[in-house]
Every structure is written in C-alpha cells, then in structure tokens.
Amino acid sequence: MSNKYLEVTNLKKSFGGIKAVDVESLNLNRNELTSIIGPNGAGKTTFFDLISGFQDSDEGKVYLNNKNISKSQPYAIARLGMIRTFQLTKVFDRMTVLENMMFSASTVNNDSFLKSLAKLPSQKTTEKKIRDKSFEIMKELNIDHMANSYAREMSGGQKKLLELGRSIINNPSVLLLDEPLAGVNPKLAEEILQIILNLAGKGISILMVEHNIEAVMKISERVIVLAEGKVIADSTPENIRTDQKVIEAYLGSENE
C-alpha cells in the first residue's frame, strides 16, 4: 500500500461569496501525526466536513487509500475506516455512557470491527462482545466508572473522551479529531494528548484540528496551516513556529 492514506486535489467549497475551503493539493502520510491549525473561520471544520462526507464539495477529488470518496456518504467513509469527531461533541445526553459506546459500535460495524470481534473468544453473543469491547475502551479512557451514568452528567472534557471512545470502538485506521482539547481543563488535556499519542502508536493515522498551539507543537510531526481556506504553510512544528506567513495570518485575525 502507498504511504499516503489521503490525497486531496483542487478541493473547493464556498458559502455565498466566502471561499471556505480552497485546497489545491494535500497528501497525508500514514503514521504521521498531523495537525491542522489556523485562525477562526479558516476552513478547518469545513475541510473535515468535505473529506468525511458531511458536506458536498463544489469541486475537487478526495481519495482514501486510493479509493475515490469525493461523493461518498459519511457512513460509507466510516466503514472504510476513516472516522471523525466533532468540534461540538455529538454524544447522546439521554443515553448512558455505556449505551453511547454500544450504539456507536452497532451503527458503523465496519469490516475491521467485525474482524476484531471474530478474534475474541467464541460463543459469546455479539452484544456481549460489544459490551466487553466498550468496557475495555472506557477503561483505557478512564471513564469506565461512569459507564452507567447518563452522558449529560459528564463534564465537557469527559464528553470529549466519550466521543473519542465512540470513534475508537469502530477500529478506525484514520481518526479526524476536530478540537479534541477545546474546553478541556489542563490536566484532562494532558491525558487526552497522551491517549492521542497512544492511538498513533497503535498505527492509527491521526489528523487533528486544534487551537491549543502548545499541544499541537508538542505532539505533531507535521503541521498544516490553513488561512481563508488555503494551505499557507505545511512543515515541521519548528518551521511553523517561525514562519512569517503564519505569524501574519494569526496577527491579522487578532486585529479584526
């Protein structure tokens, strides 16, 4: 398999007169922890929406593992192993934490998830397998003590963890994380960063949108900077820190 998992060409999306996304070319490499940064309104979430099928692009192509997914629906893309989280978490407040986990597993059911179940001891029912897998992940995320609490009882940070758990249970090969640290207290943010590093260590390709620049610089191998829909820089964290175009993009947005 090619080293690239995602190949994007000429991807565009406008809202009225605003070019939200205008990306000429972007390739993402397997096992390279990559972050996207950029000022508010730069097009980061819209970019995620386009590559994960939650919005249709105006033009352009997206390939996931050499498969054209430009017109694919979100569920189809999730089944191919690319799963996203949302800037505003989409956990079900009126379900318990465990139910949230189990519900996600039953809705995606991609091939690799079924294969991972097949590896578990036989004669258990599928539901029992999903329950066990849910607990295994909740333990990893340190939310297992809340299994039977309603999701609405969780703090914002814990909801971020639950949303991450709901993604992981579907055995993604690619995880798109939209601001996994937003609104999270510093201690939990450290924990989430460690979890992200562990997932990357397990071979999951991670693309993260995040405003916490220190966190981004700490864990990313590659940083892509979006401004007004365009990629204005794409390099190592060290180079990005001192890139004049990047500094100007951020200063410009602060002056507005």
Ligand X SMILES: Nc1ncnc2c1ncn2[C@@H]1O[C@H](COP(=O)(O)OP(=O)(O)OP(=O)(O)O)[C@@H](O)[C@H]1O
Element spanning 176, H or E: strand 174-178
Q: How far apart are CA 54 and CA 75, in angstroms?
A: 9
Q: How far apart are CA 9 and CA 2, in angstroms?
A: 17
Q: To the nearest whole angstrom, how small is the minimum distance from the Cβ of residue 192 to ligand X?
A: 18
- Enumerate residues 18-47 that contact Mg ion by CB under 5 A: 44-45
| Residue number with CB closer to ligand X (40 or 244) | 40
Taking CB within 5 to 8 Å according to partner kind, which of Mg ion, ligand X, none is near residue 43?
Answer: ligand X
- Enumerate residues 196-255 that contact Mg ion by CB under 5 A: none
Size of the site for ligand X (CB under 6 A): 12
| Residue number with CB closer to Mg ion (45 or 72) | 45
85 in contact with Mg ion (CB under 5 A): no
| Residue number with CB closer to Mg ion (34 or 45) | 45
> 233 CB contacts (<8 Å, ≥6 apart)?
223, 224, 225, 239, 240, 243, 245, 246
Taking CB within 5 to 8 Å according to partner kind, which of ligand X, Mg ion, none is near residue 75?
Answer: none
Strands 67-68 and 34-37: unpaired
| Residue number with CB closer to ligand X (58 or 140) | 58
Question: In 3D, which of 61, 51, 10, 38 has the Cα closest to residue 232?
Answer: 38
- Enumerate residues 85-124 that contact ligand X by CB under 6 A: 87
Provide the 10 A C-beta neighbour count for residue 10: 12
HSE-CB of 5 using CA atoms within 13 angstroms = 21
Dihedral over Cα of 61, 74, 194, 247: its sign: positive
| Residue number with CB closer to ligand X (10 or 126) | 10
Taking CB within 5 to 8 Å according to partner kind, which of ligand X, Mg ion, none is near residue 42?
Answer: ligand X
44 in contact with ligand X (CB under 6 A): yes
Angle in degrees, CA 135, 137, 138, rounded to 5: 60
46 in contact with ligand X (CB under 6 A): yes
Binding site for Mg ion (CB under 5 A): 44-45, 87
Binding site for ligand X (CB under 6 A): 15, 18, 20, 38, 40-46, 87
